[in-house]
Amino acid sequence: MPTNPKPPSASSAPRGWRVDPIPSRAAYRDDAGNIRIPVWLSKNGEHAADTEMVLLPSEADLLADHLAHAIGSGARNILHEIMQGTASLHGPGVALAQRDSPERP
């Protein structure tokens, strides 16, 4: 007599490949000018490797645009300022942006 397969539980890992950023390692620019993002690769919920996503600066900018759009409209401005060097990070979720002119509040 055939048995009914179990429905997938909410705690079961997604099937297939998954790429996750490594929270303890920051993205950085290498000597060739490429942007390197440390990531974990897993397949069917099992860790497969630690590696890096290597992007040209233009590809990293495009990725930042897409991520900012997914997060919300205000994120692009601060990401752009951080990338241009007119803002600095001071801790998790804390960024300091310079004013353009004294007239702006």
* pLDDT band, very low/low/confident/very high, at 35 (cuts 50, 70, 90): very high
Residue 95 in any domain: the answer is no
When pLDDT is averaged across residues 68-89 and rounded to a whole number, the result is 61
What Rg do the C-alpha atoms of the chain give, in angstroms? 20
β partners of residue 17: 43
User: What CA–CA distance (Å, rounded) separates 76 from 78?
Assistant: 6
Query: For the whole model, what pTM was predicted?
Result: 0.56
In the prediction, which pLDDT does 67 show?
A: 81
pLDDT exceeds 90 at position 33: yes
Residue 40 in any domain: the answer is yes
19 and 50 share one domain: yes
47 and 64 share one domain: no
50 and 71 share one domain: no
Percentage of the chain beyond pLDDT 90 is 34
Number of domains in the chain: 2
25 and 46 share one domain: yes
Its domain, for residue 69, covers 57-87
